[in-house]
Every structure is written in C-alpha cells, then in structure tokens.
C-alpha cells in the first residue's frame, strides 16, 4: 500500500511569505493553506512540537492571519455592522476578540479586531474572505471607507520564554504590554505593532511585520537572541489548542453555528444599542445544539466522527487528538441539546463502540480528575 502523503503544489495562489525560506530551512514537514497562504503545520512531529511549545519558545510564521484594513469616516460603523460585540468604548491600543455574524446570526469569521484610531481598524482574520464581505457591505450601505489587505505578515512568538526573548530584541518595555493590548515598536527603522496575543495559551506575542525586506532579518535575530532559551520553529499545535479550548473557524465553528452555541456568549452584546447585522437574529435565537468537550479514557482510532446515544446520532466530532499530558483522547463535539441528557454516549472506533463523556469548555482538568 502506498502510504506517502499527497504533495501540495505551491503556486501564486498559495501565497508564500517573507519567512518561507526560513521555515523551509528549519525543516518544515507539512503545510496547510489558510487564507490562501502557506501555514506550517508540523516541524518535528505533532507531540514533539507540543512539548517544545509548552516548555520553551517558538517562532511561528502566521502571515496567513491576513489584515482587513478599514479606513475612513465610516470605518467604525462598518466594523460594528459585522461584529455583534459593542465596540463603542474601544480604545486605541486595544485588541478585541469578536465573532463576526451575518443577518442569520451565524459566524462568518472570528478575528482579533485592532483599533488604530476611530477611522482606522484592522480585522486580523481567521480563514475566510472577510475583505470581500466588507467591500460588499460598504457598497450596499454607501459607506465612506477604503478597504484592503495591506502588506502585513504577522510573526508569532509563543511559549513560556517568549517575553524574555522579545525583551532581548525590542527592549524591557515590552514586558509592560498587557494581554490583548499592543504597543508600537521600531525595528530596522520601521514602526510596527507588537501585541500580547497569539493562538496558544502558553503566553506570547504577535509582531505585525510590515516590511518584507526586514522580515528575514527579524526571524534570524530572534533565533540568535534565543539560542540559550532553546528557541525553535513552530506553528499552531492541535494538541495544545484543544487542551486550551481554542476554537478553529471552519473546523469547530462557522456558518452553521451561532456564538451562543459555541460558548462565545461573552463576546456578543445583546442588550447594547448598536447597529450590528447579526444582533436582531441573535436576540431571537434559541440554540438547539452546543459545542462541548469530549473525553475518552482510551487511546482510540475513530472510524467515523459521530457521537452516539445507542444507535442515534446526537453529535458531530469537530476536532480531536490524543493528549500526551493527560493520557486521554480529547475532542470538540457539536452536540444536539437532547444528547446532553443521555446517560450513555459512545463513539465508533476500530476497537468497537467506546464510551465517552462530555464536559464544558474550556476543559477543567483538575475538576475532571486529570493530572499531568
């Protein structure tokens, strides 16, 4: 049997980045495509990448986090139309996580919203073409805005030693940056945004590199400055993000889910007097399903991605992985509310039907009796 992995053809449609040559030199083993851009997915192997992220510091090429830039006198109006989270009190220097919802209240994207000033915003997007939607809304509502995807290539530095590494490169003042806040730093004569954020719970920052010519130089300096910190290449890690309860657009959430069904209630503001496309539908919404954490005490090989109560399908497994830290199989499952009442739930594995349990997200491992 041929067990070789398929080859990804890299063309202009699968955009490379200012860091691609460094990523290749570091021995990337696989890519995925995210926002039409190459995103590394494995360097060592999944588990080795996980332990290195949790114990040391990694540099991630996350240029795939495209920025949708909205500028002009109606910029705030347009951003608020897309986001059911009240942004009226947003301050310059802050970052906001917020689902973007359509008129049915379904999730279109879940970006980090960055306010430069009242008339200048970035949406640091997940994997969907938000720029096209924003341009359509601007045209339809006759808004005075300019919308583009600027030449910005985020570089994430993640892991428990991330702050130490960036202090060596940018100065001690970066330690003062609060979570989901940013400062403007200068590197190579260019001002760029540095935020305490990133798609892991191990601590870290994202550098919004805005000059392709100095991108490689910055990558090299991070590795030189972090040699004694065991700095290495990395990427978003499936094990870490599931353990941390970080949701993936297109995998766990998307056009078929509302924020309330995914535990994102705190990021919408139903009682605010805001002009948001999704608010009317969300105010009337009565969820029929819920995203839950799945736990299996056995190491299994799934044969399908359904959750069963007897022979009845009561949910769909959206993401799943074996946790080497807790020695359990973890997953996210979109479950029918009726399924939550079932006393016995199973999944189908190569070894037969296997009992599983559900829990609220994010996982509370101590409460579940799981220790590392």
How far apart, in whole angstroms, are the C-alpha atoms of residue 58 and residue 204? 9
* pLDDT (0 to 100) of residue 4: 61
Question: Which tens digit of pLDDT belongs to each residue from 67-87?
Answer: 999 999 999 999 999 999 999
Name, in order, each residue with C-beta under 8 angstroms of 248's C-beta and a sequence gap of 6 or more: 126, 241, 319
State how far the alpha carbon of 214 is from the alpha carbons of 183, 278, 314, in Å: 19, 40, 51
* pLDDT (0 to 100) of residue 11: 86
**Could you give the residue ranges of the DSSP H alpha helices within 37-102?**
46-55, 75-82
Question: Which tens digit of pLDDT belongs to each residue from 106-155?
Answer: 999 999 999 999 999 999 999 999 999 999 999 999 999 999 999 999 99
* pLDDT (0 to 100) of residue 1: 42
Phi, psi dihedrals of residue 325, rounded to the nearest 5°: -75, -45
* pLDDT (0 to 100) of residue 3: 56
* Long-range Cβ pairs for the range 33-40 (8 Å, 24+): 33/8, 34/64, 34/127, 35/64, 35/65, 35/66, 35/125, 35/127, 35/128, 35/129, 37/63, 37/64, 37/66, 38/10, 38/14, 38/64, 39/64, 39/235, 39/236, 40/233, 40/235
Percentage of the chain lying above the pLDDT 70 cut: 99
Answer positive or negative: Cα dihedral of 141, 146, 149, 155: negative
Q: What is the mean pLDDT of the chain?
A: 96
Question: Which tens digit of pLDDT belongs to each residue from 23-54?
Answer: 999 999 999 999 999 999 999 999 999 999 99
In this prediction, residue 341 has a pLDDT band, given cuts at 50, 70 and 90, of: confident
* pLDDT (0 to 100) of residue 300: 92
Name, in order, each residue with C-beta under 8 angstroms of 162's C-beta and a sequence gap of 6 or more: 57, 202, 203, 204, 205
Structural domains in the chain, sorted by start:
20-65+151-242 (3.30.1360.120), 67-148 (3.30.70.1400), 288-372 (2.40.30.110)
Question: Which tens digit of pLDDT belongs to each residue from 200-252?
Answer: 999 999 999 999 999 999 999 999 999 999 999 999 999 999 999 999 999 99
* pLDDT (0 to 100) of residue 264: 97
Name, in order, each residue with C-beta under 8 angstroms of 121's C-beta and a sequence gap of 6 or more: 69, 70, 71, 75, 76, 79, 113, 114, 115
Rounded average pLDDT over 285-303:
95
* pLDDT (0 to 100) of residue 340: 87
3-state SS, residue 172 = helix
Question: Which tens digit of pLDDT belongs to each residue from 315-339?
Answer: 999 999 999 999 999 999 999 998 8
């Amino acid at each position: 049997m041929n067990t070789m992995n398929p080859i990804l053809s890299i063309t202009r449609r699968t955009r490379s980045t200012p860091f691609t040559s460094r990523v290749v030199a570091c021995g990337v083993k696989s890519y995925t495509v995210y926002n039409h851009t190459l995103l590394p997915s494995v360097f060592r192997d999944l588990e080795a990448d996980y332990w290195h992220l949790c114990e040391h510091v990694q540099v991630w090429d996350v240029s795939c986090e495209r920025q949708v830039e909205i500028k002009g006198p109606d910029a705030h109006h347009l951003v608020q139309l897309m986001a059911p989270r009240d942004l009226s009190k947003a301050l310059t220097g802050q970052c906001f996580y917020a689902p973007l919802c359509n008129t049915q209240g379904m999730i279109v994207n879940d970006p980090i919203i960055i306010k430069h000033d009242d008339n200048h915003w970035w949406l640091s997007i997940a994997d969907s073409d938000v720029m096209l939607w924003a341009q359509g809304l601007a045209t339809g509502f006759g808004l005075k805005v300019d919308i583009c995807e600027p030449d910005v290539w985020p570089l994430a530095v993640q892991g428990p030693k991330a702050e130490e590494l960036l202090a060596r490169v940018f100065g001690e003042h970066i330690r003062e940056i609060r979570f989901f806040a940013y400062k403007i730093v200068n590197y190579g004569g260019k001002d760029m945004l540095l935020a305490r954020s990133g798609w892991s719970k191990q601590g870290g920052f994202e550098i919004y590199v805005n000059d392709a010519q100095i991108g490689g130089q910055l990558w090299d300096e991070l590795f030189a400055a972090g040699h004694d910190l065991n700095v290495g290449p990395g990427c978003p890690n499936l094990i870490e993000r599931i353990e941390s309860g970080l949701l993936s657009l297109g995998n766990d959430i998307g056009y078929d889910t509302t924020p309330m069904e995914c535990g994102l209630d705190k990021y919408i503001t139903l009682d605010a007097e805001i002009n948001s496309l999704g608010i009317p539908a969300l105010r009337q919404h009565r969820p029929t399903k819920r995203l839950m954490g799945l736990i299996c005490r056995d190491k299994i090989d799934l044969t399908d991605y359904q959750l069963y109560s007897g022979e009845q399908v009561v949910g769909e497994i959206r993401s799943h992985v074996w946790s080497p830290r807790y020695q359990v199989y973890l997953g996210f499952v979109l479950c029918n509310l009726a399924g939550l009442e079932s006393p016995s739930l199973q999944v189908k594995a190569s070894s037969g039907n296997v009992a599983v349990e559900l829990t609220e997200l994010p996982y509370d491992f101590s409460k579940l009796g799981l220790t590392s």
